[in-house]
Amino acid sequence: MVFKKTMVMRDRKAALSPAHITGIVLIVAAVAAFFVQPLLSAALLLFYVVLCVWACFYPQTNFLGPVISRGRSGEKKVAITFDDGPSEFTTVKILDLLDRYSLRATFFVSGLNATQYPGLIDEIIRRGHSIGNHSMRHDPLVMLKSYRVLYREVYDAQAVLRKMGIDALAFRPPVGIINPKLPSILNRLGLFCVTFSCRAMDAGNFRVKNMAVRILKKLKGDDIILLHDKPPRRSKDYPVLFQEIENILTGIQDRGFRVVPLAQLIDREIMTLESRT
């Protein structure tokens, strides 16, 4: 299988997004309307602002820029991804579960956690899984901050991974929300954005009970499944979490779906490995 490679070309000019094109059209229309009906002009501009805000929470529309949220194989294939790790309390156990069923996943890690647990990053790679960039600090409000702050969040995590010999090509925004600044930042850093199409609404392993039911009842072909390998917030939830993840893995197969690596599902490399020091 040959995947499409992402070329790292800093400051490369990106194509105009639907948001740019819509903005140009609505601004021109608003200027023209101002001389006829000023209220209509204001309404057009307000509509554009609302449209952009809405698109931040629904990145799969690709309105603000290109986002991959599912595969396009047309087959009963799905990919499994884990966010917010690695964690010494959960990641290894999850790796063991994946090994038991001979499955490969993608782990979108934060730079801080990668720095704290470099051995777990090594273990994820050693067992045949992929690593993606999930920002440096996983600030859920980072999309509300300045361009400079957002750039540093992505860049710093990328730098951490590169020191470990990993050139991440895929970025997943914290809590799956984007903003109009993100596409140009990813373009500068040679990254592309990957979100998800199927989630357990577990609030970062806060609601682990019945995760499998919530995932399996809406599972569709080409889904990118979002799970978490961060610790549950209550110690008694650890065995529940691991059992729910195993139920998801077996339930996917029982329903006739096949788990494939994310790179295979989207036909695009998630990372490349360099010399590791």
Residues ≥6 apart with Cβ < 8 Å to 184: 14
**C-alpha span between 128 and 273 (Å, rounded):** 12
Structure tokens at 119: 């051995």
Distance between alpha carbon 237 and the CA centroid of its chain, in Å?
25
- Cis geometry, peptide bond prior to residue 86 (ω within 30 degrees of 0): yes
Instruction: Check 129, 202, 228, 229 and give the catalytic one.
Output: 228
Is 228 tagged catalytic? yes
For the beta carbon of residue 133, count every other beta carbon within 10 angstroms: 32
Per-residue DSSP letter, 88: T
Type of residue found at 239 = P
The C-alpha torsion from 189 through 15 and 68 to 50, rounded to 10°, is 110
The answer to whether 122 is a known catalytic residue is no
Give the chain's length.
277
The 10 Å Cβ neighbour count of residue 7 is 8
Given the residues 83, 167, 223, 229, the one annotated as active site: 83
DSSP class of 273: E
* Catalytic site positions: 83, 228
